[in-house]
Amino acid sequence: MRSLIRRRRPDPAQDPAPSRVAYRLTRLWLSPFIRRLVTIVIPAALVLGGLTAYATQPQQIETMTRWSEEIRASVEARPEFQIRQMAVTGASPVLADAIRDRVGLDFPVSWFQIDPAVLHKQVAALDAVAQVKVSVELGGALRISVTEREPAVIWRRSFGLEMLDATGHRIGFIDHRDGRSDLPLVTGEGANAAIPEALALIAAADPIGLRLRALTRRGERRWDMVLDRGQVLQLPEKAPVRALERTLALQAAMDLLDRDVAVVDMRNPGRLTVRMGGDAVEYLRLTRSFGQGLVRQ
Amino acid sequence: MMELFETQRAMRQMRKAAMQRGVVAILDIGTYKATCFVLRFDGAEVTPTEGVGSMAGQAQFRVIGAATTRARGMRHGEIEAMQEAERAVRTVVQAAQKMARIRVDHAIVCFSGANPRSYGLTGEIDVAGQEVNEGDVAAVLSSCDTPDIGAHRTVLHAQPVNFALDYRSGLSDPRGQTGNTLTTDLHMLAVDRAVVQNILHCIKRCDLELAGLASSAYVSGISALVEDEQKIGSACIDLGAGTTGVSIFLRSHMIYADTVRAGGAHVTQDISQGLGIPLDLAERIKTLHGGLTATGRDDRDMIPLTGETGDWEHDRREISRSDLIGIMRPRMEEILEDVRDRLDVAGFEQLPSQKVVLTGGGSQIPGLAALATRILGQQVRLGRPMRVQGVPQAAAGPAFSAAVGLSLFAAHPQDECWDFDLATHSYPSRSLRRAVRWFRENW
């Protein structure tokens, strides 16, 4: 029977053939480049772009920052990461106090807030510290092992007294010498630059050690050795120890230093010069006059 | 002869491009159905074992997409309505692309119509006792005298099928052999130019590039004949809907091809006219109940002819199966007689073996083998296409032997005349060599 429903045109679903546009679109869709573009590149770009646009709003940035800070603080505050005490080893009580002052940590402190490198720098900046080892242990202790500098000489300057170690590095200021009267005294500008030489001279001057008062740096280039009675041994710039030994040999042979000699000038090693004291000059002149019969009695 | 092949050379270039892309569509545009396979070439080049080397390149392939649809706008294997044929091609290509999930840009097409006609050509050159090289093969191929195929015809296949060096014939590859006279036999298949141009146009309208053309009679022979049959000589009868293709193979080469412009569609038409039923119903009862040999039981086997005309008597008719056979058998006999005539013209009796292989959709009619044995000789068998990797089961029947054969053809093309460098520039070197030889002999 003929269909009673009037149809304007035949049902397009009966034709299985794709239209030219549909065919071309299918082919376009099947080409790998377009397919990858549509399925991967464009969605990824959209998602990334959307996320970026959302995340770059100031409000979101603030929220995110606060959130991350809260997380960070909560982790830092955990007892596993707390450091409760600091142990300073190898330092005298005075130095240990100085180190504690310098580090200035308010315990308990979080493990994350301690930078061992910074601590190391801070402690090493102290004059009295030769070497330092900082170790932060997760158990809750901060360990600072210190090697102190050994004082070797006292350097008198115009404004005070300094203790120096064997290399010339300053250890600290002292108020008066009485505390460390065992240490030799050096004076003069630039003395700290030649402390090893000074120590060698002091060691070599052992035979007259009781008479030694100080070493004075002259013009930042050579040493004068000052003995009691105001005697001065002027030492050369080069090989001062040999010059000193020669003087000591003269002392041993001729008791040079026991005589009334004001200055022994060894600056020119080839020519030893002696400046006599005033009494000795008078006595010499008198003796010579006697010899010439010039003295009236 | 060279200008004839320009289109074919262009197609070979397209095929090379398709090989590089790795994907090519196989289109069998028949009268009743259009089939599309999408092939993916994924193997290394296979070295040929025999024959004049592979000039077009060979490869392994896999069918990754297959689709078939009812062809429209086709008659006798030729495009009758361009729009309709284009729609059919679009449908089938789109479905195959969807299955393969890849886009194809190159198509290799076979069709059955266009009045193919075979020509046997011979060419001969003097190689003067030298070793035959590739240039000599090209020269002997170009020395074949082109017959007058007519202005409206074009060459579809031109394959060297035999080489002879002096008295030794049957060489598949003369290169490297020594002799004086090199002779070749060339099989040339000419078809109507307009049909080919229609198909070119149709493929172009579907945004595809044509990478090859083949006759479906030839390609169904490739897939339906086993290797031995191709070697010792056999005929492949492709019983299509609109045409019946005939191709004769000898020594692995097609030596003759022809079509009978009648096929299964005509059987359907006879049933439709004889019983007064629509073509769809006729096709249906032909497929379900058809046969060619009547037995006593067929008289009692009644087939209902349901219709929707509104006439109760007309819509409730019944016929016996022997009636149906009585309609189908004369038409099939007529087609097979025509095929017999074509085989006789081709000199099929002179072949060493007269094997006949029936394939194509029409070969599925029960009793066809017995009928064909009476008409075509004793050695008749029904052929199904060779198994190809990836072809779905639904597309493995004899109706798809042309499509499968075209896939094989796409992967392992026979060397055609245009694969050789037919340029005349090989002549000067030859004449120079001859001059040198003349000097050497006379001085």
User: Which one has a higher pLDDT value, A123 or B272?
Assistant: B272
pLDDT in tens, A111-163: 777 777 887 888 777 777 778 887 777 667 778 888 888 888 888 888 888 88
Across the interface, whether the CB atoms of B103 and A30 are under 8 A apart is answered yes
How close B100 comes to chain A (CA, Å)?
A: 10
The pLDDT of residue B272? 93
Residue B178 DSSP label: B
B174: which DSSP letter? -
| 8-state DSSP, B152 | T
Q: Write down the pLDDT at residue B144.
A: 80
pLDDT at B421 (0 to 100)? 65
- Over range B26-50, report the average pLDDT: 78
Instruction: List pLDDT tens digits, range B122-141.
Output: 888 888 878 888 778 888 88
Q: What is the pLDDT of residues B90-115, one digit of tens each?
A: 999 999 999 988 889 999 999 988 88
Q: Given an 8 Å threshold on Cβ–Cβ distance, is B97 in contact with A26?
A: yes
Compute the distance between CA of residue A165 and CA of residue B429 in angstroms, rounded to an integer: 103
Inter-chain residue contact B102 with A17, CB threshold 8 Å: no
Distances in whole angstroms, Cα of residue B227 to Cα of each of B223, B249, B317, B400: 9, 10, 49, 19
Contact B98 A26 (CB under 8 A): yes
Q: What is the pLDDT of residue A12?
A: 58
Question: Where is average pLDDT lowest: A38-42, A175-179, A208-212, B252-256?
Answer: A175-179
Q: Which residues of B touch A17 (CB under 8 A)?
A: 87-88, 90-91
Q: Using alpha carbons, select from A245, A236, A241 the residue that is nearest to residue A270.
A: A236
Q: Residue A69 pLDDT more than 60?
A: yes
- ipTM field: 0.76
- Least confident stretch, A275-289, B87-101, B317-331: A275-289
Does residue A234 have a pLDDT over 90?
Answer: no
- Shortest distance, CA A46 to any CA of chain B (angstroms): 26
Q: For chain A, where do the domains classified as CATH 3.10.20.310 start and end?
A: 79-148
Question: Would the CB atoms of A27 and B97 count as touching at under 8 Å?
Answer: yes
Is the pLDDT assigned to residue B58 strictly greater than 70? no
Residues B94, A16: C-beta atoms closer than 8 Å: no
Q: How far apart are alpha carbons A130 and A167 in whole angstroms? A: 11
Q: State the pLDDT at residue A169.
A: 81
Residue of chain B with shortest Cα separation from A19: B87
In this predicted structure, the answer to whether residue A184 has a pLDDT above a threshold of 60 is yes
Average pLDDT over residues A272-285: 86
Contact between chains at B207 and A18 (C-beta distance less than 8 A): no
**In B159-278, alpha helices (H):** 193-205, 216-224, 227-232, 264-275
- Chain A residues whose CB is inside 8 A of the B91 CB are 16-18
Q: What is the pLDDT of residue A239?
A: 85
For residue B54, name the pLDDT band (cuts at 50, 70, 90): very low
* B87 in contact with chain A, both atoms CB, cutoff 8 A: yes
Contact A27 B102 (CB under 8 A): no
Judge whether residue B2 has pLDDT over 50: no
What pLDDT does residue B110 have?
Answer: 92
The pLDDT, as a whole number, for residue B257 is 92
As a whole number, mean pLDDT of residues B217-232 equals: 89
Over residues A171-189, mean pLDDT: 79
Cβ of B97 under 8 Å from any chain A Cβ?
yes
Give ranges for CATH 3.40.50.11690 in chain A.
151-289
Q: What is the pLDDT of residue A13?
A: 60
pLDDT surpassing 80 at residue A176: no
The length of chain B, given as a count of residues: 443
pLDDT the model gives residue A45: 96
Which is more confident, A25 or A104?
Answer: A25
Tokens of B388: 């190809």
By the CB < 8 Å criterion, does A24 face chain B? Answer: yes
Q: What is the mean pLDDT of chain B?
A: 85
Q: How much is the pLDDT for A68?
A: 94
| 8-state DSSP, A39 | I
Please report the domains of chain B, with CATH numbers, ordered by start residue: 1-115+191-219+386-443 (3.30.420.40), 117-190 (3.30.1490.110), 227-385 (3.30.420.40)
Query: Does residue B52 have a pLDDT over 70?
Result: no
- Residue-by-residue DSSP string for B277-332: --HHHHHHHHHHH--SS--GGGGT-EEEEE--SS-HHHHEEEEEHHHHHHHHHHHH
> Quick one: pLDDT at residue A9?
66
Architecture of the domain delimited by A151-289: 3-Layer(aba) Sandwich (3.40)
Cβ of A30 and B206 within 8 Å? Answer: no
What does each C-alpha distance from A279 to A233, A252, B143 come to in angstroms?
Answer: 19, 23, 144
Higher-confidence position of A7 and B271? B271
What pLDDT is recorded for position B44?
55
> Rounded to a whole number, what is the distance in Å from the CA of B111 to chain A's nearest CA?
20
CB-CB: which of A15, A17, A30 is closest to B101? A30
Give the separation between CA B346 and CA B324, rounded to whole angstroms: 33
pLDDT tens profile B331-357: 999 999 999 999 999 888 888 888 999
User: Concatenated DSSP letters for B325-387?
Assistant: HHHHHHHHHHHHHHHHHHHHHHTGGGSS--EEEEESGGGGSTTHHHHHHHHH-S-EEE--PPP
The pTM (predicted TM-score) of the whole model is 0.65
**What is the model's pLDDT at position A40?**
94
Pair of tokens at residue A289 = 């006059």
Question: How confident is the model at residue B66, as a pLDDT?
Answer: 92
Element (H, E) at A156: strand A151-157
Greater confidence (A7 vs B61) lies with: B61
Which residue has better confidence, B392 or A41?
A41
- pLDDT tens for each residue of B368-427: 999 999 998 888 999 988 888 888 888 888 999 999 999 888 887 777 777 776 655 445
In this predicted model, what pLDDT tens digit does every residue of B155-185 receive, in sequence order?
A: 888 888 888 888 888 887 788 888 888 888 8
Instruction: Give the closest of B90, B91, B97 to A30, CB-based.
Output: B97
Q: Give which of A215, A222, A228, A214 is closest to A262, Cα–Cα.
A: A228
Instruction: Name which CATH class applies to A79-148.
Output: alpha beta
pLDDT at A41 over 90: yes
Identity at A297, one-letter amino acid code: Q
